[in-house]
Amino acid sequence: MASSFNLVALKTIWIKECTRFLRIWVQTLVPPAITMTLYFIIFGSIVGERIGDMSGRPYMEFIVPGLIMMSIITNSYSNVASSFFSAKFQRNIEEMLVAPVSTSVIIAGYVGGGLARALIVAVIVTVVSFYFVDNVSINHLGILVLTVILTSTLFSLAGLINAVYAKTFDDISIVPTFVLTPLTYLGGVFFSVTLLPGVWETIARFNPILYMVNAFRYGFLGVSDVNISAALAVIVVFNVAFFITAYTLLQRGVGIRS
């Protein structure tokens, strides 16, 4: 009975989350397509022609996986952060916490919504890339899919944690602005980390997003600046750490219960 109840609760939360971002698709799905199109035009068509090849691939082809991964990170994070904070602000998250619903189910429902939005945006950005790149091939489908799921889950959990601590809507934008954006731009989206001078390359390898971008690029192009096994291990470790953190915060009612 408990498992059946939790399954219904999970399905309900997930459908509610998907309905929320699909209802306002002009705000949630269209902007990423426009933003990525601008990236392709500026960094790919204009700058890319002068750069030439990167890691043995045409520059435009090289940045496609990075731009898709950037959209996955941004959208999975923002979806859960804004949705969970809204639920907390309206004080209906407390109803779920006092209901006979597992904390893991609540987390999985919100993460599922972030994953769904990230996958839809990833498909949109991939379709957009077809207009700029003639050859978009997939070399390792399994690694590509696994990286997408793990990365989206990770940043959905991160968005939930941010929402738990946030006290105002402005607090939600602090992490994306001062943490996610710098780490993403320095995570090998637009360049190969091997081009950096010795000490800076070493520092760059402490950036977890570098491993996500390169694992995804390996799935697409078959090239990577890092060991793929190590990259997947890093993503899994962060997922476990963030899930434990999110679970503990909700169990204790941090930022929710007065």
Listed in sequence order, the DSSP H helices in the chain are: 2-23, 25-28, 30-39, 48-51, 59-89, 93-98, 103-129, 141-165, 169-172, 174-175, 181-185, 198-204, 208-221, 228-252
**Residue 180 to residue 159: CA distance in whole angstroms:** 11
What is the predicted pLDDT for the residue at 84? Answer: 93
Residue 174 resides in a domain: yes
Mean pLDDT over each residue of the chain, to the nearest integer: 89
In a domain, 257, yes or no: no
Question: Is the pLDDT reported for residue 49 higher than 80?
Answer: no
What is the rounded distance in angstroms from the CA atom of residue 96 to the CA atom of residue 92? 7
Mapped onto helix, strand or coil, the DSSP state of residue 100 is coil
Model confidence, pTM: 0.92
As to burial, measured by CB atoms within 10 angstroms (0-12 exposed, 13-18 middle, 19+ buried), residue 18 is middle
Cα angle 174, 178, 179 (rounded to 5 degrees) comes to 105
78-113: pLDDT as tens digits: 999 999 998 888 888 877 877 788 899 999 999 999
Q: Of the segments 89-93, 123-127, 192-196, 253-257, which one has the largest average pLDDT value?
A: 123-127
> Which helix (DSSP H) or strand (DSSP E) does residue 167 occupy?
none
Amino acid at 114: G
pLDDT at 258 over 60: no
Report how many domains make up the chain: 1
Residues 20-39 have a mean pLDDT of: 90
Residue 108 lies in a domain: yes
Q: Domain range spanning residue 6?
A: 2-252
CA 168 from centre of chain:
22
Task: Let me know if residue 258 belongs to a domain.
Answer: no
